Amino acid sequence: MKLVIAFAVFVALCSGHALPSVPGDNSDYVEGESRYIWMPDGEGNPKLVDLHEPVDEALLNSRNGANNQYWLFTRSNQNNAQILVNGNINSVRNSNYASNKPIKVIVHGWNSNGGSSVNTAITSAFLAVQDVNVIVVDWRQLAGSSYTSAANGVPSVGQHLGNFLVWLINNAGGNWNNVHLAGHSLGAHIVGVAGRQAGGRPSRVTGLDPAGPGWSNNGNALNRNSGRFVEAIHTDGNILGLMAAIADADFYPNGGNHPQPGCSLSTCSHSRAHELFASTIRHNRFAGRQCSNLSQAQQSNCSGSTLNMGNAVINKSGTFDKIIRTDEDKNRINFHVPFRLSGLSYMGDKKRKRPLCSGHAIPTVPGDNSHYVEGESRYIWMPDGEGKPMLVDLHAPVDEALLSSRNGANNQYWLFTRSNQNSAQILTHGNINSVKNSNYASNKALKVIVHGLNSNGGAAVNTAITSAFLAVQDCNVIVVDWRQLAGSLYTTASNGVPGVGQHLGNFLTWLINNAGGNWNNVHLVGHSLGAHVVGVAGRHASGTPSRVTGLDPAGPGWTSNGNALNKASGRYVEAIHTDGNILGLMNAIADADFYPNGVCSGHALPTVPGDNSHYVEGESRYIWMPDGEGKPILVDLHEPVDEALVSSRNGDNNQYWLFTRSNPSKAQILIHGNANSVWLSNYLGFRPLKVIVHGWKNNGDSAMNPLITSAFLSVLDANVIVVDWRTFAYSHYNTASNSVPAVGQALGKFLIWLFNNAGGNWNNVHLVGFSLGAHIVGVAGRHVSGRAARVTGLDPAGPGWTDNIHALNRNAGRYVEAIHTDGHILVCSGHALPTVPGDNSHYVEGESRYIWMPDSEGKPVLVDLHEPVDEALLSARNGANNQYWLYTRQNQHNPQFLVHGNANSIWGSNYLGSRPIKVIVHGWNNDGNSPMNPTITSAFLAVQDANVIVVDWRTLANHPSYNTAAAGVPGVGQHLGNFLVWLINTAGGNWNNVHLVGFSLGAHVVGNAGRQAGARPGRITGLDPAGPLWGGNSNALNSNSGQYVEAIHTDGNILGIMTPVGNADFYPNGGKNPQPGCSILNSICSHGRANDLFAATVRHNHLVGRQCANIWQAELSICSGASFHMGNGILSKRGNGIFGLLTGNSFPF
């Protein structure tokens, strides 16, 4: 009863406060008098702010300016920040910071961060007009707190910024005459403090609508002592911004107050300042007229001398000669900036489809949420950490950066017991001493409490329930504090629930395994989002907690969310619903659902024929399926996938049970990665290998496994491996079905490892799977590149698999068969081969579906260009799997392996930074040993002492699907680009001496690599760049990939691209099939000719093209323009145009 009372008290505590009536346009606001004001959050969404809210002193002490981050952007890294660390000179030396270039510093305002639009817009503007160092200051640690706390933290943030700039210039060089600080809103006052902290030395300081509330008479505000020339641009004066003139020059565009043109809200007018500033940097065309006084500025009635507003001119200053001053405005310049059609034409750019106002109209939302409909309504009132109402936009974008940095690893675990009922003891995951030194007692029950949005460990929900538990029982109470995410936007916090829950599950598992405890005594309790957190945690702990209680589980966004609390979260799960259909879920989700003061709606079970005669694939929702004992169980095919389970119980949980004639009934367990488990077993590599995989709701002991195992062993002395994947197979059908790719890939990896370590022969491998298991062996077979001799699918699962790219198909092995016994629509699993001419004469890019391409041995293989991309493989076999093989004149035939990030792999090699770097990248179905690589390598080394790096990306390139390999090209190229940047930065090198060469798909790989490296490579050569799927593809090789880019086209419009893509494009013999010596029936020969031609030109530099007026002249080989050598290895080569030439039919052509 006391526990129930505690829950009731908590509900009463969160009943909230009456919403103040505050006009959405802030029209009632009076600075220094009004208590409430609407302000924009980081996304421009309106948030009601209480200016009387107490300052969070603890936060100010812990999240002060020492938490500032300094993000450097330059023309060499315009989109990827380099982090400069105050006091760490290496962070500067290893960056693109250049002391001889101007320094531009940008500081955001309240509820923003380094990635907010104010920073990106101004950064790109600065870099568009000048080669500079742009430093964005990210002070989100304080900026994300309440307005009053953030405002009080401004002096510290500014002082730390000033100290950082002094340290930077003193230690890494720079010139104060070239320093320009710009800040928006609270950020304007920060740059003011920073400038004064640096002794007023910055040449320019610009305040963009400096924050108004609380700053009228604040000694820490921006003023003209902050730099040599200080200006302010006022756009929302007397509301969100200051109206008073505070700088050397104060600009008041359109009167300096709300509304600015195109704005209906003051939040929009407030943001207009930074939009205007970014515009002036690029165009410098907004000229203000001098005003006699502030009144003239507000009335847009100024007629004095002109001064341009904003811009990036570092030596800008105001002229005082002809200024008519009043006593009030002595030594200040006030300018009205007329925002006439000339200015409006920019702000109304035809390319922009959305209004320029950054704010949003504040919707009329009833304070009782009576309007709210789940899945339809956009806005809803929710309580903040104090129970005060806060308007939440359910469409607000998720802050992915915050999710990455403030995930469940930031959870804190506060222990309370009867010995410390009011003072928490902190338990740290992985630190057993934190437990041993606490009052934790493993023989006592364990209660875990998790708060919701905008709360923390000290919130009322935790203290009320903790005291209730300890009043009735001597137990361990652990309060989970996840404020790092819970304090963010609702959508972001909601998306962070799985990570928080998984970390909690891992923590509990670690705690019980290391410090003792009993899952039978574990009770998890969570409120609102916390209810879903404990749901995830319970499932992550395999559903072993004895009890899980959800207190009004959060509703918005959770109705069909696979991460929601459900009855798989514990042995007994209950939910108490008190605000269903608004802030909480109304649906029954647990073993027991309580609806105090309400009516249980219940759910009627659908009437489904027991023979499944109703079932239509892709349409029916329900179907009867057998459980592990063959009993029928009703399956809802619309049930959400349990993503948390999929993440935690992947294919690494597979078990591999070995049976042989020496142990036909008792399994020996083989463990992936543990060679002893194989060597100590009866496995023999020369025997045939039979692999059996069960289906849904089954395990290694299910009847099918011993039945098929005994059948195999009765006729053959074999290794039979039964795969037990019960950790997934026992989940809901949809979840188990979604896990098939991971289970299959893990099986494929295991087989490769087994053969590499204990022997085996792919010609003797037979994979057999039933139902979902049939698709698992399909995935496994494709993962081993289709090398298994046989794959058999026993009635492959149907529901959800008709058009599923992970389904069993004929690419899974050399011979694939399926036995169908319960097909609802009898369709042969194979496919009739289309009639496709062997010379690809039918092929039209963008229209034809099938094309012949060469395999690794040059043999033709039919490719389906509509085949779905294997996304799972792309994730697992991305560019991080690239291998880099170094050849030099000292090791022309035996590669030395360079490992990205491992400097010792370079120091121990023959690499010399003084030599040119030649990089060679193969195409589809090739690897580092393919003939093109040694041919071109030997040619380079024959004429020059160079570092030749062959890139082996076989993990993707050797995939049976061309489409998948093509989709992986950007990732492979980006990793190659990053590797080269690291290599040159670590061991030396000169970008002018870098030459990248790629064939077919490899041509597009080097294109991506060059762009990833900022187009710095001196030369890039594409050898018949791949055509299929690359017409109009933005990831293709292009002239922006390097300093000079050329392409050699030999099979255009079939396997290669015909369109010019480089600075110079060569079309030997018309650039198409057949090339001399190649049969017209063999475009594969013509495609490969580009490699041979290039290798010949490296050695002899003898093939000369003539410039063509157009591509048609090149195709007809009738060009007569200027001469230009094709190919070769000359690093300083430069040229432009289309070139044709004729060659011979054999080396050296």
Tell me if residue 1086 is catalytic.
no
Residue appearing with tokens 């994730």: 875
Q: Is 1100 annotated in the active site?
A: no
Phi first, then psi: what are they for 464, rounded to 5°? -65, -45
- Which segments of 490-530 are extended strands (E)? 522-527
For the sheet with 412-417, list strands across it: 420-427, 412-417, 476-481, 446-450, 522-527, 547-551, 572-576, 592-594
Look at the block and give the residue holding tokens 């289906």. 695
Q: Using alpha carbons, select from 241, 341, 256, 239 the residue that is nearest to residue 293.
A: 256
What are φ and ψ of residue 653, in 5° steps?
Answer: -85, -5
Query: 1048 with 1125: CB under 8 angstroms?
Result: no
* Torsion sign over Cα 351, 355, 358, 360: negative
Rg (CA), the chain: 34
Q: How far apart are CA 547 and CA 535, in angstroms?
A: 11
Dihedrals φ, ψ of 747, to 5°? -65, -45
Q: Is 123 left (phi over 0), alpha (psi -120 to 50) or beta?
A: alpha
Closest CA to 305 of 334, 347, 343: 334
As to burial, measured by CB atoms within 10 angstroms (0-12 exposed, 13-18 middle, 19+ buried), residue 828 is exposed
Which of 108, 532, 766, 1087 is catalytic? The answer is: 1087
Other Cβ atoms less than 10 A from the Cβ of 627: the count is 13
**Element containing residue 162 per DSSP (H, E):** helix 147-172
DSSP states of 31-50 as a string?
TTT-SEEEEE-TTS-EEEEE
**At CA 1032, angle to CA 1030 and CA 1038, rounded to 5?**
80
Q: Which of 182, 147, 112, 45 is nearest to 401 (CA)?
A: 112
Active site residue 1087: yes
Sign of the alpha-carbon dihedral angle for 971, 972, 975, 977: negative
Catalytic residue among 1000, 1041, 1083, 1086: 1000
Neighbours of 415 (CB within 10 A): 20
Q: Please work out, in degrees rounded to the nearest 5, the angle formed at the alpha carbon of residue 606 by the alpha carbons of 601 and 609.
A: 165
Contact between residue 120 and residue 53 where contact means Cβ atoms under 8 Å apart = no
Burial of 76 per CB tally in 10 Å (0-12, 13-18, 19+): middle
Residue 1108 CA: distances (Å) to CA of 457, 669, 1053, 1105: 74, 68, 19, 9
CA count, 13 A, side-chain hemisphere, 1141: 23
Helices 147-172 and 186-197, packing angle to 10 deg: 40
- Helices 117-129, 266-283: axis angle to 10 degrees equals 10
Note whether 886 and 910 are within 8 A (CB): yes
- Give the span between the Cα atoms of 709 and 720, in whole angstroms: 7
Write out the two tokens for 53.
């809210």
User: Could you tell me if 1107 and 1136 are in contact, meaning their C-beta atoms sit under 8 angstroms apart?
Assistant: no
CA distance linking residue 908 with residue 631, whole number of Å? 63
Which of 41, 393, 870, 1024 is catalytic? The answer is: 1024
The DSSP output letter for 651 is G
Label residue 404 exposed, middle or buried (CB < 10 Å: 0-12, 13-18, 19+). exposed
Neighbours of 1088 (CB within 10 A): 25
Residues carrying an active site annotation: 1000, 1024, 1087
